[in-house]
Amino acid sequence: MQTLSQYPAPRPPGGTPSQTEWGNNDILGIAARPYKPHSILCRQDDEEDTIFIIKSGWTLLYRGLPDGDRQIIDTPLQGDIVGFRSVPGPRFASLAAITDAAVHPIPRKALTDLILSEGSFGSKIARSLARTNAIVAEHLVNVGRRNAMRRTAHFLLELEERLTKVGLSAEGGYDCPLTQNELADILGMTPIHVNRTLRELRRAELVSFKTGHVEMLNRKSLIKLAGFEKEYLS
Amino acid sequence: MQTLSQYPAPRPPGGTPSQTEWGNNDILGIAARPYKPHSILCRQDDEEDTIFIIKSGWTLLYRGLPDGDRQIIDTPLQGDIVGFRSVPGPRFASLAAITDAAVHPIPRKALTDLILSEGSFGSKIARSLARTNAIVAEHLVNVGRRNAMRRTAHFLLELEERLTKVGLSAEGGYDCPLTQNELADILGMTPIHVNRTLRELRRAELVSFKTGHVEMLNRKSLIKLAGFEKEYLS
DNA sequence: AGGGGTCGCTAACTTAGGTTAATTTTTGGT
DNA sequence: ACCAAAAATTAACCTAAGTTAGCGACCCCT
């Protein structure tokens, strides 16, 4: 498995807690904490030494610039580990929930101790980090070398693939709580241009992005346009 | 320590091999292999399962696009670990040397076995990965949300800081083998615009970038222009 | 039910950065 | 010392994306 997304395994809301490799729904004895939409889990420059493991919901990892701009670095989803750092000290990015979310806040020390005492755990973390690396790297390629259309298309395809892996995508599309503003901060463009671009993609009958839902109209052409290769997400 | 750059410790060429935490100049019994400038250490889509630890020299980690464009993701230097992946299978990026370089090619299996058997090693890898994450994330912020001047300034400051950490930077500047073309592929812009931008930076007496050497003319103003905060490199 | 927010959408205009093309300088090989 | 190739540089022009501005459609308050 590529992510830790199987811990805890996806299950229908309200179902009985399933036994997972973590043993139960706690991670290191820490229960998932609920967060409201738009709540901030941590801020860049926080000294507080917590790592977050997402259990459910959508979150944004971003870095704000002095002039008020921000760049969204990743959209951590179910199973993703966020905020692992090489040293204690201030973080460099903020994490916010955009939907209701359940997240395990793990003290860094607890995690590093576990890594030291149990090799298999370290390799799990390392794998998760390697995957994040790949995602952010591809994101960089996207922003650095693809134009608005391809860039947007590529991101929407990435989202679909990631959601599929955690069982949150249907055949023809997927639910997506992102606003066009947030999309702009992900893609490194202005909201106005995002709007234009989404219109184009809709007119070309490739994808339709509208509040709450993304519909794949012609996945094949979209993949071709974006030059999307999903391997980096494995 | 933040990177593995202290293993082996930098030493004058021709000197006696210094004893390091690795025990000697080998890593997992593997000696550093020399690479010529412009040689390619691995290609994206390679199935071969090797991780690289840079001993000396400059390298580029990049991803090529079908249309011939490429985005350079990172410039791994002395001590950096490159190519750690979550699963066996094709890589998603290529690695090339741009100077003479010495690099330890480590089979993935050897490294993961070691992680499993020795916790402290896993945490070293995890820390290195976390640092790479931070660097690539900041790179993304740079390309996504800073204009040509700030972006270029920011990158040149990052390089200085990273080189300083491995003892490869002097007071007023540092040696840098990057061409303007390569700079363009790092910064997600065209070589022509890189040239324009460097000219501006030189005229403004902030930095002077010319073949082989970067000279800091006014570091304070440059840092201010770029909004550079070096903490993410720790 | 009125009012302040955010969000989506569009149009008109501006600009940073891309494109094309050509010249000079530097580098590396023999 | 000579040649070929790569790297740097500049100018003129063009376009993708940014900026500014304005208008409805929904929220969620109280």
Q: What is the pLDDT of residue B6?
A: 32
pLDDT of B23 > 70? The answer is: no
Same domain membership, residue A204 and residue A225:
yes
Coil, strand or helix at A42: strand
Same domain membership, residue A88 and residue A152:
no
| Structural domains counted in chain A | 2
Q: What is the pLDDT of residue B127?
A: 84
A133-145 pLDDT, tens digit each: 999 999 999 999 9
A11-57 pLDDT, tens digit each: 334 333 433 344 458 898 899 999 999 999 999 988 888 999 999 99
Q: What is the pLDDT of residue A119?
A: 67
Q: Which of A139, A173, A198 is the last residue of a domain?
A: A139
pLDDT-based confidence at A6, cuts 50/70/90? very low
B47-102 pLDDT, tens digit each: 888 999 999 999 999 999 998 899 999 999 999 999 888 677 778 899 999 999 99
Whole-number Å distance between alpha carbons of B58 and B37: 9
A152-197 pLDDT, tens digit each: 999 999 999 999 999 999 999 999 999 999 999 999 999 999 999 9
B170-194 pLDDT, tens digit each: 999 999 999 999 999 999 999 999 9
Mean pLDDT of chain A: 87
Nucleotides of strand C under 7 angstroms from a protein beta carbon: 6-12, 16-21, 26-27
Q: What is the pLDDT of residue A124?
A: 79
Q: What is the pLDDT of residue B120?
A: 75
CATH no. for residue A65? 2.60.120.10
Same domain membership, residue A14 and residue A114:
yes
A62-88 pLDDT, tens digit each: 999 998 899 999 999 999 999 888 677
pLDDT of B160 > 70? The answer is: yes
Largest distance between two CA atoms of chain A: 56
Same domain membership, residue A135 and residue A19:
yes
Beta bridge partners of B82: B52
> Counting one residue from A and one from B, how many pairs have CB atoms under 8 Å apart?
150
Q: What is the pLDDT of residue B24?
A: 59
Q: What is the pLDDT of residue A115?
A: 78
Nearest of B202, B193, B211, B191 to residue B148 by alpha carbon: B193
Same domain membership, residue A200 and residue A133:
no
pLDDT-based confidence at A125, cuts 50/70/90? confident
Same domain membership, residue B132 and residue B152:
no
Q: What is the DSSP string of B61-90?
A: EEEE-TTS-EEEEE---TT-EE---SSSS-
Q: Which of A92, A114, A139 is the last residue of a domain?
A: A139
Whole-number Å distance between alpha carbons of A161 and A154: 11
Q: What is the pLDDT of residue A14?
A: 36
Same domain membership, residue A219 and residue A132:
no
Measured CA to C1', the nucleotide nearest B178 is D7
Q: What is the pLDDT of residue B59?
A: 97
pLDDT of B139 > 70? The answer is: yes
Q: Which of B139, B165, B186 is the last residue of a domain?
A: B139
Same domain membership, residue B156 and residue B80:
no
Long-range contacts of residues A205-209, Cβ cutoff 8 Å, at least 24 apart: A206/A153, A207/A153, A207/A156, A209/A156, A209/A176, A209/A183
The DSSP symbol for A55 reads E
Say if the Cβ atoms of B128 and A232 lie within 8 Å. no
pLDDT of A148 > 50? The answer is: yes
Question: A22 vs A227, which has greater pLDDT?
Answer: A227
Same domain membership, residue B35 and residue B120:
yes
CB atoms within 10 A of CB A92: 21
CA atoms within 13 A on the CB side of B37: 5
Cα Rg of chain A, angstroms:
18
Number of residues written out for chain B: 234
CATH no. for residue B219? 1.10.10.10
**Residue A180 Cβ < 7 Å to strand C:** yes
Whole-number Å distance between alpha carbons of A165 and A168: 8
Whole-number Å distance between alpha carbons of B145 and A57: 26
**Residue A148 Cβ < 7 Å to strand D:** yes
Same domain membership, residue B113 and residue B13:
yes
* One-letter amino acid of B226: A
CA closest to C18 C1', residue: B190
Contact of A177 with A98, CB cutoff 8 Å: yes
Same domain membership, residue A172 and residue A109:
no
Q: Where are the beta strands (DSSP E) in chain B?
A: 33-35, 40-42, 50-56, 59-64, 70-74, 81-82, 94-97, 101-107, 173-176, 207-210, 212-216
Coil, strand or helix at A231: helix
Instruction: From chain A, pick out residues whose CB is under 8 angstroms from the CB of B127.
Output: 86-87
Q: By residue range, what is the domain housing residue A96?
A: 4-139
CA distance B224 to chain A (A): 11
Q: What is the pLDDT of residue B179?
A: 96
Q: What is the pLDDT of residue B88?
A: 79
Same domain membership, residue B13 and residue B109:
yes
**Residue A199 Cβ < 7 Å to strand C:** yes
